[in-house]
Amino acid sequence: MTTELNRRRLLTAGASIAGAVTMAPLLSACGGGAHQKTGANTASGLKAALPAYLPSTALKPDIPSVAGGPDAATDPGFASYPASPVATVSGPPGRGGSYTAVTPLWGTVPQPGNSFYQAMDNALGVNLTIKPADGNNYNTIVPTMTAARKLPDWVNLPAWWNPNFNTGELAGTQLADLTPHLSGDNIKKYPNLAALPTGAWQAGVWGDKLYGIPCFATGFPAPGAIFHRRDVLESRGITADQVKSAEDLMNLGRELTDAKRGVWAFEDVWTYFFTSFGAPRKWKVDGGKLVHLFETQEFLEALDWHYRLATSGYMHPDALAGDTNSSTRFYAGKSLITGDGTGAWTLADYQSGIAADPKYRRGAFNSFAADGRSKPVLYMGAPSSMISYLNASLKPDQIEELLAVANYLAAPYGSAEYTLVNFGVEGTHYNRVNGVPTFTDEGKKDVQVTTYNFLASSPAVISNPGGDVVTKDYSAWQAANVRTLAKPPFWAMNYSMPQELAAAEAAQAVNDTIIDCYHGKKKVSDVQAAVSTWKSGQGDRLKRWMTENVLDKYGTGQ
């Protein structure tokens, strides 16, 4: 049960907000004055705001964490779920306060006041009303609350929507400053929160003060990987480590494609492969100056390779037609190599896979440089992208009560608290089947969707009870790649930019042309043309703003 979210899937789902725009101004007609803060952090200020890190020793993992570079480590792996979970918190953390919380939910909203919520309220000692809001429209729902200054007591603000929420501006005006409660050794009052890695806390620091509580914190924030059907490759005597360069990968595509049988080698891989050509994810610093991805030679080389791939006939035609249902084709063996977030490597994936093909086994290529010679680099993403915040209008003792609740919710994997938060009450929401907690129908309805864990959760672990091969394979892949993890410039740095520049950063026109290029409809030169239009209009202004307001003032955060 790896709990990392697949951000790409969430974003795809988030694209269905048609028609919301004309109502938005109406709902947010009242608000404060217009002025913009970047909310970025100084090195010393950040250090002072961050809590101490005291890893949990409650449960010994079967596959221990392997450390990589700074802030990088593999998620610990657990082969089985503990038979008798131990408690890490004594007694209910709350003192009977009443609070509301809003979290995004991608799925069916559980009934209010259901038996799981009641059990949680009893265990937490508070009256916490969870109000899940539609995840697909979350980026338009929250602004209506902030514009009316009606945020709930506790709210999750997914980090990739910070530009939409203007979180840097909300911090301190509508979101509570947690620095006095959590910075440095203050966090020792909340041992389970103290076990969250430091990098993850960084995502909740704005303007040198700590505001956010990170959920699903991981030391292995790889954006994703190039996956393959390990069972199919191995049946042909191919192992993943034979692929050492982009040309190898292309040749493998030729070998695997059999269009007459309806099998094509590739789905989309661009998003997780272009950095292998030495291109930065977004920015790099060259001789003290900022260089954008679009300006680099490596970006063009990556495009060229992907254009060749698209026109080679090794890509599934439905992928070229933009059909996002790639996992169905992958399970059915109609496509064999696909790019995806690491969140794809789960028990649920394994179960869907073996339902379609009993031999199904997901594998991932180790990160390699396209030229086959350079040092491979896997740029780290945010160590936590689901951050929860408390309302600024709460009194200090209310904040402490909710932090104690957060401490309960963040209990480590396999503890009694973790079991309740993730599986509910035994006999009602889950039963042990061969030792594996398995949801009952009631549990599927009320517990399986993520609610409390978007307020606080234990650090990510790799655990797939009932699918040991997944835990083994994924842990091995993380261990093999942890040394290639590297921080890109501005990693885990918070800053918010004016709306107009946020649009420049989104570079919709260029990104559209890039998609057309890696689907073989536009040439690399067309992308170059789109880039030069973007640069002269918005790109240069974006770079100037980034240089003056972030790079010159705060550095790259490394």
Q: Which residues bind other proteins (CB under 8 A)?
A: 15, 17-18, 20-26, 28-34, 143-144, 146-147, 163-166, 169-170, 259-260, 262, 264, 316-318, 320-323, 334, 499-500, 502-503, 506, 508-509, 512-513, 515-516, 519, 521-522, 533
Q: Could you tell me the smallest distance in angstroms from the CB atom of residue 206 to other proteins?
A: 14
> Smaller CB distance to other proteins: residue 186 or 533?
533
CB atoms within 10 A of CB 189: 14
Q: Are 108 and 449 in contact (CB under 8 A)?
A: yes
Q: Max Cα separation, the chain?
A: 68
C-alpha triplet 95, 98, 102: angle, nearest 5°: 125
> Smaller CB distance to other proteins: residue 512 or 552?
512
Q: Could you tell me the smallest distance in angstroms from the CB atom of residue 66 to other proteins?
A: 38
Say how far apart CA 122 and CA 432 lie, in whole Å: 23
> Smaller CB distance to other proteins: residue 284 or 522?
522
Q: Are 411 and 194 in contact (CB under 8 A)?
A: no
DSSP secondary structure string, 248-296?
A: HHHHHHHHH-BGGGTBEEE---HHHHGGGGT--SSEEEETTEEEEGGG-
End-to-end CA distance of the chain: 32
Q: Could you tell me the smallest distance in angstroms from the CB atom of residue 141 to other proteins?
A: 11
Q: And the tokens for 134? A: 């539609």
H or E segment and range at residue 43: helix 43-49
> Smaller CB distance to other proteins: residue 291 or 509?
509
Q: Could you tell me the smallest distance in angstroms from the CB atom of residue 325 to other proteins?
A: 9
Give which of 372, 452, 436 is closest to 130, Cα–Cα: 452
> Smaller CB distance to other proteins: residue 472 or 521?
521
> Smaller CB distance to other proteins: residue 54 or 509?
509
> Smaller CB distance to other proteins: residue 397 or 512?
512
CA dihedral angle for residue 92, residue 94, residue 96, residue 101, rounded to 10 degrees? -120
Give which of 129, 187, 123 is closest to 153, Cα–Cα: 129
> Smaller CB distance to other proteins: residue 36 or 111?
36
Query: With 0-12 CB in 10 A as exposed, 13-18 as middle and 19+ as buried, what is 332?
Result: middle
Q: Could you tell me the smallest distance in angstroms from the CB atom of residue 511 to other proteins?
A: 10
Give which of 305, 307, 285, 309 is closest to 295, Cα–Cα: 285
Write down the H helix ranges in 183-265.
Answer: 191-194, 198-202, 230-235, 246-256
> Smaller CB distance to other proteins: residue 272 or 413?
272
> Smaller CB distance to other proteins: residue 167 or 484?
167
> Smaller CB distance to other proteins: residue 227 or 264?
264
Instruction: Give the strand pairing for 98-105 and 154-158.
Output: parallel
Give which of 106, 107, 17, 12 is closest to 323, Cα–Cα: 12
Q: And the tokens for 179? A: 């620095």
Say how far apart CA 117 and CA 360 lie, in whole Å: 37
Write down the H helix ranges in 55-189.
Answer: 115-124, 138-147, 162-165, 167-170, 179-182
> Smaller CB distance to other proteins: residue 24 or 449?
24
> What letter would DSSP give residue 240?
G
